[in-house]
Amino acid sequence: MRPFNHTNATSIAEIKTALADGKTTLIAGGTDLVGTLKDNILRDYPSTVINLKTVPGMDYIKEEGGVLKIGAATHLADIAADPNIQKKYTALAQAASRVATPHIRDMGTIAGNIAQLHRCWYFRKPENRFDCKRKGGNTCFAMTGDNRYHSIFGAVGGCIAVHPSDTAPALIALNAKVVTDRRQIEAENFFDVKQPGNTVLEKDEVITEIQIPAPPKGAKSAFIKFALRKSIDFPIVNCAVMTGKNPRVCLNAVAPKPYRAIKAEEVIKGKKISEKIAEEAGTAAVADARPLNATKFKVQIARVMVKRAILAAS
């Protein structure tokens, strides 16, 4: 690991000032960043790492005015264990409980989980051995290389790496907002893989809170994940669903950003959920899939994940 300065921030204003130079990065749980720095995978290395956890009042779970509010530095383990989230915002509790291992959930934060970098062995190769599209290079090495876990819905910006977050599809299914120091962003619109950091955040913009409206009366939610191992593994495919009058279905690990399966939503809207309807929704969810030869198996997994998540939420 290269040397860098480390600062414990005391306010959001201090963080914004530090980030403005473009050579500073934030750390909260550090479960993604530390590995990134150790492996030296990026073109640019930060001169300063500023600690978000020392800013007062960034770790909380509360419900106000029918809105669940979660501080950006709230640990995933606390979200998974919260009785209110388990009952009313079930998909989020289930998603948080499936992230990696208990130790990583104790360290990792909700903001860090949605803002993490993509998983691709070319992108993540130590010492930046593959200066790929994701880093601003000219080639997506996965396109003609080993792409067995990559996108089934094509490339974005020439890159077929997939977004690995477990909590992101749950937040999108639950119609959440990402709150920063300057604006509110619909969770669905938070991800922009054509931008540095894969989000719409400006270089000096800081996530402060996640807000989730109370689910409509009668709505239920669920999250389901397929991975090769039950612990410390990223999803091959995951899916979150909220049923009800206006259902929402979101897949992840199938595209460069979380994939809202609108065609699946149309299948189940206004209908009593049955195994047949859920199966039809699963088929609709992957109707626009364009897999490569090595990723064709993921289409069937995504279809089944949507079906099972819908049934679990009904």
- Residue 108's contacts (CB-CB under 8 Å, 6 or more residues apart) are 29, 31, 75, 76, 99, 100
Q: Give the residue with greater pLDDT, 206 vs 136.
A: 206
Looking at residue 229, its pLDDT comes to 85
Tens-digit pLDDT profile for residues 130-179: 999 999 899 999 999 999 999 999 999 899 999 999 999 999 999 999 99
pLDDT of 46 reads 95
The pLDDT of 279-308, averaged and rounded, is: 98
pLDDT at residue number 22: 87
Write phi, then psi, for 29 (nearest 5 degrees). Answer: -75, -35
What domains can be seen in the chain, in order of their start residue?
A: 5-55+115-144 (3.30.43)
Q: Which of the pair, 78 or 136, is modelled with greater confidence?
A: 78
Confidence (pLDDT) at 201? 95
- Confidence label for 84 from pLDDT (cuts 50, 70 and 90): very high
pLDDT higher at 309 or 135: 309
Q: What pairing do the DSSP bridges indicate for beta strands 237-242 and 248-252?
A: antiparallel
- Average per-residue pLDDT for the chain: 96
Percent of the chain with pLDDT over 90: 94
- Residue 196 binned pLDDT confidence (cut-offs 50, 70, 90): low
DSSP string, 210-240: EEEEPPPTT--EEEEEE-SSSSS---SEEEE
> Does residue 231 have a pLDDT over 90?
no
pLDDT of residue 285: 98
Residue 193 has pLDDT above 90, yes or no: no
Burial environment of residue 144 by CB neighbours within 10 A (0 to 12, 13 to 18, 19 or more): exposed
CB 113 within 8 A of CB 28: no
Q: Supply the pLDDT for residue 145.
A: 97
Whether the full predicted model's pTM is greater than 0.95, yes or no, is: yes
> Could you give the percent of the chain with pLDDT greater than 70?
100
Q: Average pLDDT of 43-72? A: 96
Whether the Cβ atoms of residue 132 and residue 201 lie closer than 8 Å to each other: no
